Amino acid sequence: AKQEGLTCFKFFNPELRQVLERDLLIEQGLRLCIENQELFVYYQPKVHVAEHKLYGVEALLRWKHPQLGFVSPAAFIPIAEEAGMIHALGDWVLESVCQQLRRWDEEGIEVGTASMNVSLKQLEHMDYKDRVLSTLERYSIHPSRLELEITESIAMCDQEHILHTLNELHEQGLKLSMDDFGTGYASLSYITLYPLNTIKIDRTFVEATTVSDQIKLIDMIISMTHQLGLEVIAEGVETVEQMEYLQARQCVLMQGYLFSKPLPANEFIIWLHQYEAQ
């Protein structure tokens, strides 16, 4: 049916046709990407700027498509969610991250907490909690070493089940962070509803450290997290000016190209040695 749809579009909108063909290629490719070993996890450091120390890592999924090359997760994650394949991808990421943490443990390398992005669709799944806990157990990793990054979209669906899942994972020691904070349309009340440890200031606010109104927003977010007793981390830090601005506002946890891009595990360790030697 999708093929027919594409031929209809062909005559009046070649651009749209290209997008649809690409999406179709992505959707078809996703079905084989695990089997064909086309997935990788990259790690981006989170640093404690004041102490010049590694605070943790964020795991980011990478997919090398045989024809398209590296496809951005921003492009394929929504398609995977629609096509019901996000569960398999999420499980694969969970497994890889646990495996990597185990390996680093054995090598005596301390990376702190590893965070993973989790979509709403994954949390809706009945087994999610058990899958996370059993995978951690299989690799002998304490739940407090893992953090889930969720987005504000979670506040839009008032699902008892999701709240229950998150509470139970939190009780087991898992950390929870609110990603892309300030970009959603949710009311603020959900912040106290979920068992959050950390708020992640979205890159768009960090970029705007020179625009006065946006600066007020960053200041507000930071002071709010301090008042609520939550950790605050800024993402997308690219310049020294941004770093200094945030640090002056007592936001000392940061992540961004200024420190490092997301890297394959082995390159990340090389980066870490260099960073620690500085």
**What residues form DSSP beta bridges with 147?**
115, 175
- Tokens coding 95: 């497994």
Alpha helices in 118-159 (DSSP H): 120-124, 128-138
> Closer to ligand C2E at the Cβ: 152 or 179?
179
Q: How far apart are CA 257 and CA 259, in angstroms?
A: 5
Enumerate binding residues for ligand C2E (CB under 6 A).
Answer: 44, 60-61, 72-74, 77, 93, 117-119, 149, 179-180, 203, 235-238, 256-257, 262
C-alpha separations of 89 from 77, 85, 95, 262 in Å: 9, 6, 10, 19
Question: Please, which residues bridge with residue 264 across strands?
Answer: 42
Cβ closest to ligand C2E, residue 93 vs residue 233: 93
d(CA 40, CA 265): 10
Pick from ligand C2E, Ca ion, none: which does 112 bind, CB < 5 to 8 A by kind?
none
73 binds, among ligand C2E, Ca ion, none (CB under 5 to 8 A by kind): ligand C2E
Say if residues 168 and 195 touch (Cβ distance below 8 Å).
no
Of 149 and 152, CB closest to Ca ion: 149
- 147 touches Ca ion (CB under 5 A): no
CB of 180 to ligand C2E, least distance (A): 5
Tokens found for residue 231: 């950790």
The tokens of 177 are what? Answer: 């962070």
37 binds, among Ca ion, ligand C2E, none (CB under 5 to 8 A by kind): none
> Which listed option, ligand C2E, Ca ion, none, makes contact with residue 61 (CB within 5 to 8 Å by class)?
ligand C2E
Residue from 44, 117, 122, 198 that binds Ca ion (CB under 5 A)?
117
Binds 101: which of ligand C2E, Ca ion, none (CB < 5-8 Å by kind)? none
* CA neighbor of 28 nearest in space, from 91, 76, 99, 90: 76
Size of the site for Ca ion (CB under 5 A): 5
Nearer to Ca ion by Cβ, of 29 and 89: the residue is 89
Rounded CA separation 264/60 (Å) = 10
Q: How far is the CB of 244 from Ca ion (least distance, A)?
A: 21
